[in-house]
Amino acid sequence: MTLQLDHAVIAVADLDAAVQDYRDLGFTVVRGGVHANRATHNALITFADETYLELLAATGEPPIPGAIDFGVLLRHGEGLAGYALRTGDLDGERARLRAGGVAVGEVIPGERRRADGTVIRWKLALLDGGFAPFLIEDVTPREGRIARDLAVTAHANGAWGLRGIEIAVREMDLAAERYARLFGALPGPAAGSGRAIGCVTLREAPNEPAPQSTEALVALQLVVERVQEGRFSPARAHGVRFRQVAAPGDPHAR
């Protein structure tokens, strides 16, 4: 399997408010920058495992034509809006997935300008026309997009990384087949109401997806040094549900 979880996108109404709320939850948050079409900007929460959370908000500026518009991720309000899978060979992955019957879009360039003026570039491809998930490959060096400084990747709440995305599905067998093609891996055995494939855990929850959808993003699996119930309020997290997973070696794992 060559696709790895890169980051999760969290739609927020006000970036300044979201930054403060996530800092109050014990995360280290840094400003990201403004995207190429000027309509969206972000702040980042980067983890030691090099995954990250992207807080995404509108700038209030009209989008510049010709550049990808991440504003579509804000259309349904606050909450978990999408996630990216990283690859070092976007063209190869597109060919593999298309051969397996997965609908993969054309390669789209993307960029944002950091506060220090540095322009970070990448390229991406949408799956089934959307961002849940989408594929991403760095063009400029990855360390420009993903900070590795301990001062940035250490968090007061003990968060260490993202293990995966939890998705509520109406038809488990069809969803499992789709994600098996995506990750090039066999579905794991059913465990309770869930089935793990790659970085995705599918859960039977027919009442959670919207009526017009067969699946919905419902939670992020956050690896923490110590599990503490009630640590992350969905209200303070702008609609995001975090399922805490104990880091390896945690004596409080359960």
Summarised one tens digit per residue, pLDDT across range 44-94 is 999 999 999 999 999 999 999 888 999 999 999 999 999 999 999 999 999
DSSP class of residue 177 equals: H
How far apart CA 193 and CA 66 sit, in angstroms, is 43
Percent pLDDT > 90 in the chain is 74
How far apart CA 220 and CA 6 sit, in angstroms, is 13
How far apart CA 174 and CA 185 sit, in angstroms, is 15
Tell me how many helices (H) and strands (E) the chain has: 5, 13
Q: Under 8 Å CB-to-CB from 130, ≥6 apart: which residues?
A: 82
How far apart CA 227 and CA 252 sit, in angstroms, is 7
Q: Decide: helix, strand or coil at residue 183.
A: helix
Q: Is 32 exposed, middle or buried (0-12, 13-18, 19+ CB in 10 A)?
A: buried
Q: Decide: helix, strand or coil at residue 46.
A: strand
Amino acid identity, residue 118? T
How far apart CA 223 and CA 50 sit, in angstroms, is 12
How far apart CA 52 and CA 212 sit, in angstroms, is 29
Q: Are 106 and 125 in contact (CB under 8 A)?
A: yes
Range of lowest pLDDT (4-8, 108-112, 162-166, 236-240): 108-112
Q: Decide: helix, strand or coil at residue 85.
A: strand
Predicted pLDDT at 204:
86
Go through the domains of the chain in sequence order and give each one's CATH number: 4-150 (3.10.180.10), 159-246 (2.60.40)
Predicted pLDDT at 193:
64
Residue 163 has pLDDT above 90, yes or no: yes
Q: Under 8 Å CB-to-CB from 245, ≥6 apart: which residues?
A: 163, 221, 222, 223, 224, 227
Percent pLDDT > 70 in the chain is 91
Cα dihedral sign for 87, 88, 89, 90? Answer: positive
8-27: average pLDDT: 98
How far apart CA 35 and CA 16 sit, in angstroms, is 17
